[in-house]
Amino acid sequence: MGLITETDYQYYEGQQLFPWGSAEYQCTFNTKMLDLGPNHPSNYFVEWSPTNPPLPNGWNLLNPGVDYESWENVLKVTAVQPTAVLLRVTLIEPAKWDNYGGYEYIKLNDIINNFMVAYVGEDKIVERVKRSDVIFHAKRGLQEFSYDTLKSVNSMEIEVPPSLSFPIPHDYVNYVQLSWIDNIGIKHIIYPTNNLTSSPTEVPIQDGGYNALPTQDYWGENLEAQQSRTNERWRRANDRVITGERDDQYIGVYDWNWWKMAYGQRYGLEPTTTQKNGWFNIDERRGTFNFSSDLTGKLIMINYISDGLAYDTNMKVPKMAEEAMYMHILYSILSTKLNTPEYIVRRFKKERSSKLRNAKIRLSNIKLDAFTQVMRGKSKWLKN
């Protein structure tokens, strides 16, 4: 049996047609149909048509929650429409987008089921294992793979607010790159402040005494200031003082140093700060990205990695790394199981390592055409 269960019509159009007349309809979308709930909006709608074939404008919407409801992709229609002939279920656009390209992945639940079937049992390498152990190692594997193997880079497009700070994304684990986007959509990398400035993790309010000790509240905890003065000063800072960028109003051509500036030869110029893209740092105290003042109002792209476990829909593994995941689970189980011969453990350590390497190579997407294109650049003559 093929692995694709949706028809092309369902996949591309996000729609499924039924002849009207049943009380319940079994939808076969890969996407789970959601009714309006406390934590999510509905991701589909239902229409009926009085003609077959339907007219382009002949579809009539049914009322969600009143005329129909769904459970586990079974649609139950309670509306009475004597003239209805066809029923159409349509996924909304974001639900369709989530499904597009879904064949590239395998769900973590399927990985666990496959593993239990193929690797655990009588006369197999693992005779007996608790399913919860497999779940643990599979999820840990997904986390580890997410950091450096899988294509799990998420990106968020934001506009820097006047406060110059933005909350760290919900499923953030580490950043890959932050950049601002110019008018033609080009990315300009913005750099971490490193040693330029930092955000304090504690800002105690000090008493006015000689030793300026922190003050405490009723429960004996240090009182904390809302605002860090370091952040405040950084927010007001003129970046040009750091970067050495020339002021448009005063280009300094009469300055005896102007030519040195133009050639980037000014004494003491620090190459790491000589850039005009701006800076960011992470304020661990408030859980925000802080941006330098020249980035106010600019469009920012935050590229970051997550661990793949934040949302149910994230718990999937690229098929390119499926075998690596099995080997990771197998090695993890064997290496933590008492009395497993060491040569078996070593064998699967090597297996895991080689499968992981394969997965990395596959997922790094090195295509011959792209490689050739890069190599062409190397044949260019450079003039000095």
Partner 1 sequence: MVSVDEVYKTVLYILNKEQRGYMSPAEFNSVATQVQLEIFEQYFEDLNVQLRVPENDSEYANRQKTIKEKISFFETNDNITGGSPFDLSGLTAKVHRLGTIEYLPQNAGFAITSSYNPVEVQEVSQHEFNLIRRSSLTAPSYDWPIFTLKDDKVITLPDLDNIEVYYVKKPKDPVWSYKVGSLGQYIYDPNGPIGTLQNFEISNIDKTEIILRILAYAGIIIRDPNIVSTATQMAINEDNIEKQ
* Site for partner 1, rule CB under 8 A: 23-24, 26, 69, 71-74, 76, 109, 112, 122-123, 130-132, 135-136, 139-140, 309
Closer Cβ to partner 1, 131 or 240, answer by number: 131
Here the tokens at position 142 are: 């997904």
- The answer to whether 34 and 78 have CB atoms below 8 angstroms apart is no
CA distance 73 to 25: 8
Closer Cβ to partner 1, 1 or 374, answer by number: 1
Residue 59: closest CA among 87, 22, 92: 87
CA distance 120 to 123: 9
Residue 279: closest CA among 334, 237, 338: 237
- The answer to whether 190 and 278 have CB atoms below 8 angstroms apart is yes
Minimum distance of partner 1 from residue 132's CB (angstroms): 5
Q: Which residues pair with 191 in a beta bridge?
A: 279
Closer Cβ to partner 1, 22 or 238, answer by number: 22
Minimum distance of partner 1 from residue 24's CB (angstroms): 5
Minimum distance of partner 1 from residue 352's CB (angstroms): 19
Alpha carbons within 13 angstroms on the beta-carbon side of residue 324 total 23
Minimum distance of partner 1 from residue 26's CB (angstroms): 6
Q: Which residues fall within 8 angstroms of residue 210, CB to CB, at 6 or more apart?
A: none
Q: Which amino acid is at 170?
A: H
Closer Cβ to partner 1, 27 or 190, answer by number: 27
Closer Cβ to partner 1, 302 or 329, answer by number: 329
Alpha carbons within 13 angstroms on the beta-carbon side of residue 48 total 19
- Cα dist from 191 to 3, 141, 272, 348, 362, whole Å: 45, 30, 9, 41, 30
Minimum distance of partner 1 from residue 140's CB (angstroms): 7
Closer Cβ to partner 1, 21 or 264, answer by number: 21
Closer Cβ to partner 1, 63 or 78, answer by number: 78
Minimum distance of partner 1 from residue 92's CB (angstroms): 23
Minimum distance of partner 1 from residue 316's CB (angstroms): 14
- The answer to whether 190 and 180 have CB atoms below 8 angstroms apart is yes
Compute how many other C-beta atoms are within 10 angstroms of the C-beta atom of residue 228.
21
